[in-house]
Chain A
Amino acid sequence: MIDRSRRGRMLAAAAATALALGVTAACGSDSEPTSGGSSAAAPVTVKVQTFGGGKNFGYKEAIDKWNASHTDIKIQEEHLTDQFEQVYWPQMIQWLQSGSGAGDVVGIDEGGMGLAKAHPEWWADLGEYGLSNRQGDFAPWKWDGGLTADGKLFGLGTDLGGMSLCYRRDLFEKAGLPGDRDEVSKLWPTWDDFIKVGQKFQDKVKDTKFVDGTNTLYNVVLVQEAVKNGGVSYFDKSNTLIVDKNPAIKSAYDFAVKISQDGLTAKLRNFTPEWNTGMKKSQFATLGCPSWMLGAVSGDDGAGPEFSGKWDVAAVPGGGGNWGGSWLAVPKQSKHPKEAAAVADYLTGKEAEVSVFTYSGNMPSNTQAQQDPAVQGAKNEYFNNAPVGDIFAKSASTLQPVFLGVKHAQVKNAVESVISALDDGSVPYDQAWQKLVDDAVKAAG
């Protein structure tokens, strides 16, 4: 046995170590274990985990309807966070990798699908529950997106991004610009025209900026340019990082720098509390709007009911594009994969996707839902009765997918920090490109 005083010192050192480490270790453990559902006798509760701002996946009405008419399976939605890359996906990966914590049905944004595909062991094979017959409901790229690397069905498509530009009709009129959506669409066939309109707007209106920040429109321009450059973004199809080689990224970056330098941005980073407040306080007049963004604006966390009728939807400069859109998958760890598959089937079915569209505006990826008159003829009351069905259904049929690599979410996250850093001034414009490339390389490594 070692001498006691030495032992005392060792224990003291060990105690100090434990304290230090305890604090560090505690940092990562913000996960809440979630139960896999109740026992067999009672109705099975299927937990659906989602993310996104405002009305996020827009499932409220569809789930209420299911729960009212089903006694055997109850759906419980758990909206985890607004942020996908920063919060939701890292947490989900830990749950999937450790084998517990994930819901029975989980939403995955397009940015996470590359990694999800590469890990067939995480997912229940939906083909085993008879869902392979759903193939006809989706465009080929959306269907293929839900297949694992070894060809098994694991995810069913929820929504599409599509693309539009939301604007504040009242503020446009205040600035002496037309308020009508068709006339507004004619103002900006190209992004250069958009900047010119912005400068006119900014000359007249001082306390509202033309756009929210650099991040939203950076992503809009990026997806448009990516389609023109071989349908690839940060990674090429062999998963090699091409951030410094793909001209699409430089173009989108240059655009972000331009709107920031021209003083058109409110310097708000999207999906932050400040950004939400910015909508409530009319800090910006336009917003790049994939279909799911409509719900983020109209939801209570976003601009909210107070601004109903003041927002409107116009065509996006540069013509079309797709940003975002998600899938639902059933983790293998689910204790009720059969019931979970039934819920995923329901929520991606025609009826539910139509309900999501009319509730929150997310464009269905289900082609039958797209053709439903309730979608085609839909007007969004919040957005001044804009014919959103027409606007997004059109873009859905011409939509060209962009390949996203296995580590897309991580690289996107790193790049977006730089894109907002050049806007808030913490990275000088002349150093931002180099930092963007360096950080992307680090995140991909």
Chain B
Amino acid sequence: MSLHVDSGPSTRAPVPPSRRHGRPGTGRTFLSWLDLKAAPYLLISPYYLLFLLFGIFPLGFTLWYSLYDYDLAGTVKWTGLGNYTALLADSAFWNAVVNTLGMFVIATVPQILLALLLANALNKRIRGRLFVRLGVLLPLVTSVVAVAVVFTQLYGRDWGLFNWILGSVGVDPIDWKAERLPSWLAISTMIDWRWTGYNAIIFLAAMQTIPKDLYEAAAIDGASRRRQFWQITIPMLRPTMIFVVLNSTIGGLTLFAEPTTFYGGNVHGGSNSQFQTVSMFIVEQGFREFDYGYAAGAAWLLFIMILIGSLINFLLIRRIGGKK
């Protein structure tokens, strides 16, 4: 996503003379400078000030506190990298990492493939196109917690719809919250239900910018629909794909609301932390056990994890189409 921020023209280039003011007189130099150079910064500054306050400051603050043994209702002691070495040796932390990555893969891969197929279908001339396009976005406007509450009931062990359906075809009831893989699947469906349509619409927007003559030329050369999809649509979607995948990576690795609601608001993520994500681990350490420093360290490790994850995905997705 923001890795593609346009860096704009280089400052090293000489400033072009202002057209509006002509050659500025000495008295107006300052005003003119203010208008040309400072005004743009002033106009964008609200965002950056807020960003400084709510982005950079907490980030630095978290880093600072990750170096302390900081007990909310107790003592504060300097420990240097002690929190980090303890975290790397903490099986509960690694359990959360595995859960997070597991759910990320189970949720994201089908989600993106499904979104692509959905976008491709919506890109065709079908009846009630606008209605269907708006329809796939509907899950996005429902509250995460509402979605999770409904799904949690559907996945109930004793009275849930899914177990009832499974039971009617002779499958034993699954304890969705107690077993690790079923719990991951249940949570992944919540994520996918919410985000597949969103990604599909983004893909669709990108698909509509692909020039039609490419398809026509390919059709004349005898390329099948399937071939056109894989060899024209997919490579042309590469920039969008990068955005969608990075967005999903960040969202997936910071997963919190769905698994927390799935266990009744308890951040332990199942009786044996079967589906506790790193975000939940951070909250549990920071706001249940009041080990702020430890939680801050875990937050930084999660940050690094997201950077690495985003980088890997970025490099992988850039190879789509292969020829560039």
B-facing mask of A266-295, CB < 8 A → 1, else 0? 010100111001100101000000000000
Q: Which of A9, A19, A267, A277 has the most CB of B within 10 A?
A: A19
Q: A274-B156, A417-B271 are in contact. Are A24 and B254 (CB under 8 A)?
A: yes
Q: Are A443 and B289 touching (Cβ within 8 A)?
A: yes
Provide the main secondary structure of the chain A interface: helix
Contact A427–B287 (Cβ < 8 Å): no
User: Does residue A11 face the partner (Cβ distance < 8 Å to B)?
Assistant: yes
Q: Which residues of B contact A24 (CB under 8 A)?
A: 254, 279, 282, 299, 302-303
Q: In this assembly, does A442 line the interface, its C-beta being within 8 Å of a C-beta of chain B?
A: yes
A27 within 8 A of B: yes
The reply to whether the CB of A260 lies closer than 8 angstroms to some CB of chain B is no
Interfacial chain B residues near A1, Cβ < 8 Å: 11
User: Does the CB pair B54–A22 fall under 8 Å?
Assistant: yes
| Residues of chain B contacted by A390 (CB below 8 angstroms) | none
For the complex, what is the distance from the CA of A81 to the CA of B264, rounded to whole Å?
A: 11
Q: Which residues of A are found within 8 Å of B9, using beta-carbon distances?
A: 4
Whether, in the assembled complex, A374 has its beta carbon less than 8 Å from a beta carbon of chain B, the answer is: no
Is the C-beta of A68 less than 8 angstroms from some C-beta in chain B? no
Task: Please tell me if the beta carbons of B56 and A27 are within 8 angstroms of each other in the complex.
Answer: no
Which residues of the other chain, A, contact B6 by a CB distance below 8 angstroms?
8
Report the separation of the CA atoms of residues A9 and B55 in the bound assembly, to the nearest whole angstrom: 16
Q: Do the beta carbons of B156 and A8 come within 8 Å of each other? A: no
Residue of A nearest to B271 (CB): A421
Of B5, B9, B251, B272, which is in contact with the most chain A CB atoms at under 10 Å from its CB? B272
In contact, B303 and A410 (Cβ under 8 angstroms): no
When the two chains form their complex, are residues B72 and A94 in contact, meaning their CB atoms are under 8 A apart?
A: yes
User: Could you tell me the distance in whole angstroms from the C-beta of A216 to the nearest C-beta in chain B?
Assistant: 15
Tell which of A5, A16, A413, A427 touches B272, judged by Cβ atoms closer than 8 Å: A427
Q: How far is the CB of A6 from chain B (nearest CB, A)?
A: 8
Work out how many contacts link A and B, with CB atoms closer than 8 A: 156
* Chain B hits for A277, CB < 8 A: 156, 158-159
Least CB separation from B175: chain A residue = A424
Q: Mark B1-44, 1 if CB is under 8 A from A, else 0.
A: 11111111111100000000000000000000000000000000
Q: Is B250 an interface residue (CB 8 A)?
A: yes
Q: Are A426 and B55 in contact (CB under 8 A)?
A: no
Q: Which residue of A lies closest to B274 (CB)?
A: A426
A417 to B251 CA separation, bound complex (whole angstroms): 28
Q: A20-B306, A90-B287 are in contact. Are A424 and B177 (CB under 8 A)?
A: yes
* Residue of A24, A81, A421 most packed against chain B (CB within 10 A): A24
> B169 within 8 Å of A by Cβ?
no
B178 and A425: CB pair below 8 A? yes
Complex CA–CA separation, A94 to B287 (angstroms):
8
Q: Given A23, A28, A426, which contacts B287 in the complex, CB threshold below 8 Å? A: A28
Q: Which positions 365-403 of chain A face chain B at CB distance < 8 Å?
A: none
Query: Which chain A residues border B279 with CB–CB below 8 Å?
Result: 23-24, 27
Minimal beta-carbon separation of B65 from chain A (angstroms): 13
Contact A12 B72 (CB under 8 A): no
A17 to B3 alpha-carbon distance, docked (Å): 12
Query: Chain A residues near B286 (CB, 8 Å)?
Result: 28
Q: Tell me the smallest distance from the CB of B290 to a CB of chain A, in Å.
A: 7
1/0 per residue, CB under 8 A from B, across A9-46: the answer is 10110111111111111011000000000000000000
Chain A nearest CB from B254 CB (Å) reads 4
Given contacts A11-B2, A17-B55, A28-B286, could you give 9 more A-B pairs where the C-beta distance is less than 8 Å?
A3-B12, A15-B55, A17-B59, A18-B55, A20-B253, A23-B279, A83-B266, A87-B266, A421-B270
Binding site for A on B (CB under 8 A): 1-12, 51, 54-56, 58-59, 62, 72-73, 92, 152, 156-159, 175, 177-180, 250-251, 253-254, 256, 264-266, 268, 270-274, 279-280, 282-283, 286-290, 299, 302-303, 306-307, 310
**22 chain-A/chain-B pairs, Cβ below 8 angstroms:** A5-B8, A12-B3, A12-B4, A14-B51, A14-B56, A17-B303, A22-B54, A23-B254, A24-B254, A25-B58, A27-B279, A86-B265, A119-B73, A274-B156, A274-B158, A277-B156, A277-B159, A413-B288, A418-B271, A424-B271, A426-B271, A426-B272
